[in-house]
Amino acid sequence: AQTVTQSQPEMSVQEAETVTLSCTYDTSESDYYLFWYKQPPSRQMILVIRQEAYKQQNATENRFSVNFQKAAKSFSLKISDSQLGDAAMYFCAYRKPQRLYGGSQGNLIFGKGTKLSVKP
Amino acid sequence: DVKVTQSSRYLVKRTGEKVFLECVQDMDHENMFWYRQDPGLGLRLIYFSYDVKMKEKGDIPEGYSVSREKKERFSLILESASTNQTSMYLCASSFPGTTMNTEAFFGQGTRLTVV
């Protein structure tokens, strides 16, 4: 079974600094998707960034980037120029490609989350 | 914008009551999910539906059932609420994961307290 591990329950960063959140996963699949989700105190989970396993290039979205190491099964999130609004729970998630009209492969498997605090 | 709406943000129910949590999405997504979120445990899948009337058990289905009679609506049912079902419940929806549109969209969550 696939598993996702986030080894840092809590992290802290100074405003304007850079922080990296770690995520490792276990799978025997070669084709899959990886995600980082953010859950602010308001609770709505929103997508931060996604990575397709077949793409070698690391995904970037403005101040957010990933370091995807497929062989090591590692998928870390780097937040540059941290802002107060980045304070949230961050969840790493894994998903297999799903067959059209079938199967439980469509669900996301989440890590336990990392609580990020940003100090002014 | 994709919208996933859960019927209640806060709910307080008594032990033994039958509880319905409703979720509606407006993007014609095939997939819908119910997750339970507890501190230190992350999100755990309760049930998953990939089409109308189709459902699959997730990791923690005991004590729960689901209903999907229409594509846009996915209901979670606690047949007889117990205190250990006090938790945050998150609904999500997505297209099938065969395309680039593989992300899941989440509702606001329902904080259920069973007393």
Alpha carbon distances (Å) from A106 to A9, B18, B63, B99: 26, 29, 23, 11
Q: How far apart are the two ends of chain B, measured CA to CA in Å?
A: 37
Report the pLDDT value the prediction gives residue B92, as an integer from 0 to 100.
94
Q: B77: closest CA among B8, B7, B10, B19? A: B19
Instruction: Dig out the tokens for B35 from the structure.
Output: 């997750």
Report the pLDDT value the prediction gives residue B73, as an integer from 0 to 100.
97
CA distance A116 to A19: 9
Q: Cβ contacts (< 8 Å) between B48 and chain A: which residues?
A: 104, 106-107
Instruction: Summarize pLDDT for A64-120 with one digit per residue, the tens.
Output: 999 999 999 999 999 999 999 999 999 999 987 766 555 555 678 999 999 999 999
- The residue type at B66: V
User: Cβ–Cβ of A108/B104 closer than 8 Å?
Assistant: yes
For B50, the closest of A50, A52, A101 (CB atoms) is: A101
Question: Which positions of chain B have pLDDT values less than 50?
Answer: none
Kindly tell me if the per-residue pLDDT of A42 is higher than 80. no
CA distance A87 to B42: 17
